[in-house]
Chain A
Amino acid sequence: MYRYDEFDYAVVKARVDQFRDQVARRLSGELTEDQFKPLRLMNGVYLQLHSYMLRIAIPYGTLSSTQLRMLAVIARDYDKGYGHFTTRQNLQFHWPALKDVPDILDKLASVEMHCIQTSGNCIRNVTADHFAGAAADEMADPRPYAEILRQWSSLHPEFSYLPRKFKIAVTGAERDRAAVQVHDIGLHLKKDAEGNLGFTVYVGGGLGRTPFVAKKIRDFLPEQDLLAYVTAILRVYNLEGRRDNKYKARIKILVHETGTAELTALVEKEFAHLKESELKLPESDIRAIETYFAPPVLPHRPEGDAVIARAIAEDAGFAAWARRNLQTHKNPDYASVTISLKGIGEVPGDMSAEQMDVVADLADEFAFSEIRVSHEQNLILPHVARADLKQVYDRLKAADLATANAGLISDMIACPGLDYCALANARSIPIAQGIAERFADQAVQEDIGDLKIKISGCINACGHHHVGHIGILGVEKKGAELYQVTLGGSGDENAALGDIIGRGFAEDEIVDAVDTIVKTYLAHRQDRHESFLSAYQRLGLAPFKEALYGSDAKVA
């Protein structure tokens, strides 16, 4: 993992002291709310329905056991005993008191964490594949580049007041698990014909009220040009982005209105000026950052196959978990474990302080003290010896953390929605709970197979509904919650936005509607190997529409 150097420590400590002073001046009345609000947002403090909310950055979703334990301490001492992992690989506390936030930030700083740039019109937490450094299908670990981007973008004076927020995602595997094509900039690591590392560069993706899949503007960008090229993009955006209208201020609108070819030409022109500047990354710097992310020394553990075969024969629960929650590791003696935060009937992404402690202990004992947060609101132990999997499973099960549903219908993304969020129009979490309970049966879920449902409680789309295989958007209509459904979205390397199926469903109808959609898929699929998404791509909306709205819908 990356370790803070003296500059990181000094910057974060200074920022905590600064915010402590700002909070004191706000509470004394020396600062007005108008003066204070942008300052608190720059430190991740939002005001929600019931209380303040504090958003903590988890760079590229990588956490140490020490950091997770500190999050548990904060949850217990300053919040209500739990935290919420988000689709940006961050963690939010929903109940902190403003007066306590400086102390919380002090505690975070002691474990190399902070809340800087988790809000505001700046470059936000850079996200990455949660299996980075472990996945068998990986070309290269994306995290060194994400860390370079983090260092470059932290408190960057030129890019602290952009037209709007700006999100960058990096992936290093063939399969895109970081949804890079729905980010402002998406970077997909690849090698050229000579074996040199570089990136395919996507720009202008995003969800929200005007969703777009990003446009590819560079097939191959050599790694040493990363900062020069990203600076060129940000510079064009900073100058040309729409500051006149908040709803048109993201770079996706600039790309759309300017046109990909012209926008690319502007970026390339700026890049030509910057290419040989101090932004060119020296090879030695890239390799130095890479050493922080060197995989742990993994002892030879060939006994895993025998241990697993025995455990599968003896324990059906373990067998299901092993089928769903393990990811193939580069080292055949190891696996990456998905710890589902989607227990049936639980709140997606929520985790109690006690569970955080359990996972931190497991990480120390079995996983080289490393934990990842996925944008799908689960946790990952990236490097676990297959021989230890049964022990890890048993301990997770005792902590209600062994739900065997990774990638299945009950493994949903859901934003906090109207239960917490001041922007939301409808609740998301109870819908997720209702769907999970409807499909709780393990055999039923596994028969349905891979299916991603994503739920947002408002048009801002924190729940990524546009890229859900089944997307659900909550709106308010005539004072009641109404849920609009989209089908066929995808956030992977074949990114696509879902198609709206028709009129929305009331709160007490939406679970039945999802049930009908799933039954329609099961009735129409060619066989068990045809996934929901593949079947939808073959069938289109028609059979689902008819099943939901009746045969009249065919002509509608």
Chain B
Amino acid sequence: MKILAANRLIDGIAVWLGPNGNWVEDIRDADVVRDATGEEQLLATARDAFGNNLIVDPELIDVDLIDGEVIPRRLRERIRAAGPSIHPNLGKQAARNAVVHLT
């Protein structure tokens, strides 16, 4: 399973591609795809968004769905989805008012 991660051009904030081609700030809203066709659709949308100067550094990342929640396989992407592990009050986790489990 994969989702597509990127950073928004104007402010650099980490975003993910959600359903209907929207860029979402919460990984829980990301569009999860399960096959090559889905991946190609994500990449095609990302290429358009990159071309339209909305996002930079688009990248497919591996995720698992655990208890219905999108959990990236790599720690790097889990930290990106949460915010710095040392600052629970900063990044996405602050808005969620919860620390994302990193391990």
Contacts and interface: CB of A to CB of B under 8 A. Distances in A.
B74 to A, nearest CB: 7
Contacts of A427: 79, 85-86
Nearest to A33: B56
Interface in B76-101: 76, 79-80, 83-87, 90-91
B7 interface: yes
B41 interface: no
A479 B61 CA distance: 13
Nearest to A27: B10
Contacts of A97: 10-12
A50 B90 CA distance: 10
Contact of B86 (A49, A419, A481): A419
Contacts, number: 75
A430 B79 contact: no
A98 B10 CA distance: 6
Contacts of B85: 419, 427, 430
Interface residues of A, number: 32
Interface string A51-74: 110000000000000000000000
Given A418-B75, A429-B86, A433-B86, A99 B10 contact: yes
Contact of B79 (A29, A49, A99): A49
Contact of A27 (B7, B53, B57): B53
B75 A476 contact: yes
Contacts of A47: 7, 12, 56-57
Interface in A24-45: 26-29, 33
Contact of B11 (A48, A49, A52): A52
A419 B79 contact: yes
A80 B75 CA distance: 23
10 contacts: A29-B52, A33-B50, A33-B56, A47-B7, A419-B79, A419-B84, A427-B86, A433-B86, A476-B75, A479-B73
Interface of B: 7, 9-14, 50, 52-53, 56-57, 73-76, 79-80, 83-87, 90-91
Interface of A: 26-29, 33, 47-52, 80, 95-99, 347, 418-420, 424-427, 429-430, 433, 476, 479-481
